Each structure stands twice: as structure tokens, then as C-alpha cells.
Amino acid sequence: MTMSMSTALLTDHYELTMLQAALRSGAAHRRAVFEVFARHLPGGRRYGVVAGTGRVLDELERFRFGDEELTYLRERRVVDESTLAFLADYRFSGNIYGYREGELYFPASPIMIVEGTFAEAVLLETIALSILNHDCAIASAASRMVNAAGKRPLIEMGSRRTHESAAVASARAAYIAGFASTSNLMAGRVYGVPTAGTAAHAFTLLHDSERDAFEAQIASLGPETTLLVDTYDVAEAVRTAVDLAGPKLGAVRIDSGDLAAAAQEVREQLDALGAFNTRILVTSDLDEYAIAALAAAPVDGYGVGTSLVTGSGVPTAALVYKLVARETATGKLEAVAKRSVGKPSRGGRKEAYRLLDETGHCDTELITTGGLAPEGGIPLLHELVRDGEVVGGEPLSAARERHAKAVTTLPLDALHLGRGYAAIPTEFA
């Protein structure tokens, strides 16, 4: 979400204390390579969806320590004066490579690589992870919902269930993964996500009768509007809706009860009243499992809120930002890796390729450190930032199209909603 202030303090305290100590030791200006990856896909997911890269690039351009930020750090003695002097002139001048938004990823996929001095690159850890962990989690959940919905459209409507800025980011991530629209107007303004919305139960309750409420909405928005029909009695509301709007009534929305049974009854009633083209939209705490359960019901679209903005129970993508290579005292770039129990990392600057089988479906995620591209491998890392300048920006529509195409390359079992292993193996060469 676009804000006017600097993003530099969207940073953990220890990034700055590491910087101070590295400046003192003389290691701060050594070349370093950091990598963003997930050791596993949380929640038994079978694939992940890259989202948030564009937001990282936006925030990078505003990652500056101005007078207000420096005064705050000085007054609270977070770092010393020599470190403050470094921060006053801070500009990331390195290179960033990454998977494009909308692309799929799997365990150990290096979805973002940051190259620069240690001092420049270490400061980006928190903001990169906070954005990517959130947006990848939302997009991954949204993709499962889109697959469960088939060709039926989904509207994102979770703004009232999360932080106001997270709501905007969620709408953006959901749109990348295939949602048709959002209820959030800021997402429409900032990112161009299509917006939609009509009325809540409060609008019906405001009026002296349901008929009065429907008349007012139709007079204002036209007969193609969507009328909420479960405030009182659904069958009576449908009769009133068709009586007032006629067969041109756009849609009715059901927000409670047994949605499958209610949708069947409403469809039969609409057809009997001649409203054959009136659509049925359903809401009410939907997630990918509830959407899949409604596959056989006469439903024309879904509205998803809480489950979407919370990642459908998996609110983080479990991504980490780790140093994988650093310059030695002699000027050589060498691989480094953690050996921590349960939290190991693989050292070295990497390249990533997607291998497809003879049918065009994903077969292997191949990660290399040797620099040789495998025959037929699809390169996944693209230049995003060159010498500190963003060069990899793209319209949101490109990410959306990329994801729609990428999903068609998944093995069929990758679309199963049950917990399981990653859809394809990750191999290292």
C-alpha cells in the first residue's frame, strides 16, 4: 500500500545493531548474497504462489533514513553516530533477482536473491520477509480457492477481518491468484483491482420493510443489482425481488444457512418466476473446502472474506532470508550455510529452473550453483533491480496471466485440497 513516509523503520532492531558491529569490524562492505526461500510449504500445501515482489520493489524505492528516522534512532540510542552517518547516505546499490509474481514455488525455491554489500543487503531482510510472507500466503490460499471454484468468479471481501493495510495487500495477492474483484476501494485505487459491492443487512434493516429496501436499491443501482435475500425469509425475499426487478434482476446473495440447499431452492424459485438469468451468489465464512463442497450446487459466484485474508489457516509462507555467500578477507566470494538442527540452509549463489515432462506438466524444480543451464529448463530467476535501480516492474495483469498459465502445468494431484507433499521434488545440482 502506498504511504508517503519512509519505509526504513519497517525494520527489526537487530538489523541495525548488526550493521553497527559490522561497520566496526570492517566486514560491512564485503559483498554478500542473501536468499529468500521456504524450507517447507506450511499447512500441507502442495505448491506456493509468489506474490508481493512488486510491493517489495515499491518499498525499496522509499527505503531511506531521513531526518525524522535518524532523530528517532539517535534519541533512543539504537546505534552510534558513525552508524547514523552511514544510514543518512543509505541507498541500496546492489542487484536483486527473483521469481516473477504469479509464478509457482516449492520447498527451497530461491524466490528472491539480494546481492550487495552486507551493510546494504542485511537491512532489507525484515521488509522483504514481512511483505513476501504475507502476500505469498494469501496468494497460495487464493489459488486453492480459485481452483475449487472452477470457472465461477470469486470476490475478495475480507477487509473487515484484518489490518487495514493488510486488507489492501490481500486484495492485490488474491487478484494475482485469480479472484475476479475485491470489495476494497483502496486496492482499486492503488493497484487497479476491479471493485464490486452492493448492500449489507443493515441496508434492509434500515427501511420499514424489505420491499422498501429493495425498491430503493433498484431505483439507485438498476435491476441488474444484487439483492441480499436472507435478512428475514429467503423465499419471500426472492418473490419480492423478482416482483420489483423483473426477470432482469442481476443476482441474489445468500449469506447464511445451508448454502447448498438454499441455493437449490432459490434456483428453482427463480426459474419458476421466470428469472432464468438471475445469478446466485453465496457468502458466509467460505474457504476452499466449502467452495469445493458447493461444486454441484447452482451457485454462480462466491464472496470470500476471513479465510482469504488469514491464508485459510496458513497466514505465513514460512519464508526466510539467509546469507548464502559472502566475500572473504582475500576478496573471494564463498558459499556459507547454517548447520542448525532443523534449520539448515544450502550455501552458494543459485539459479533455478523448472523442468517439464513430455506432457508439459511440472516435473522437477532444479536448483543449481554451477552456472550451467539444464537442457529444456525454464529459467525462474529474473532481474528485478540492477545497481540499485528497479528494472523488473510489471503490470499486475502480467502476474495474473502468469499464474493462470502456471497452474495449468501442475500435476493433477497438486490441486487436491487435502494435506500432502510438494507437487514436485526440488533437486540440487
pLDDT in tens, 312-371: 999 999 999 999 999 998 999 999 987 777 667 789 999 999 999 999 999 999 999 977
Instruction: Specify the pLDDT at position 1.
Output: 43
What domains lie within the chain, and their CATH numbers? Answer: 13-138+314-428 (3.20.140.10), 152-310 (3.20.20.70)
CA 105 to chain centre: 13
Dump pLDDT digits (tens) for 126-183.
999 999 999 999 999 999 999 999 999 999 999 999 999 999 999 999 999 999 999 9
Instruction: Specify the pLDDT at position 4.
Output: 56
Q: Residue 261: which H helix or E strand, with range?
A: helix 259-272
Instruction: Specify the pLDDT at position 338.
Output: 79
Nearest Cα to 166, choosing from 124, 130, 128, 218? 130
Q: How far apart are CA 184 and CA 41, in angstroms?
A: 29
Look at strands 112-117 and 31-38 and give their pairing: antiparallel
Q: Is the pLDDT of residue 89 over 50?
A: yes
Q: Which residues fall within 8 angstroms of residue 138, CB to CB, at 6 or more apart?
A: 51, 169, 170, 173, 174, 177, 308, 309, 311
Nearest Cα to 370, choosing from 344, 355, 346, 349? 349
- Give phi and psi for 200, each to the nearest 5: -105, 180
Model confidence at 123, pLDDT cuts 50, 70, 90, reads very high
pTM: 0.95
Model confidence at 429, pLDDT cuts 50, 70, 90, reads confident
Quickly count: other Cβ atoms within 10 Å of residue 62's Cβ. 14
**Residue 372 DSSP class:** P
Instruction: Specify the pLDDT at position 2.
Output: 45
Any idea of the CA torsion for 239, 242, 243, 248, to the nearest 10 degrees? -170
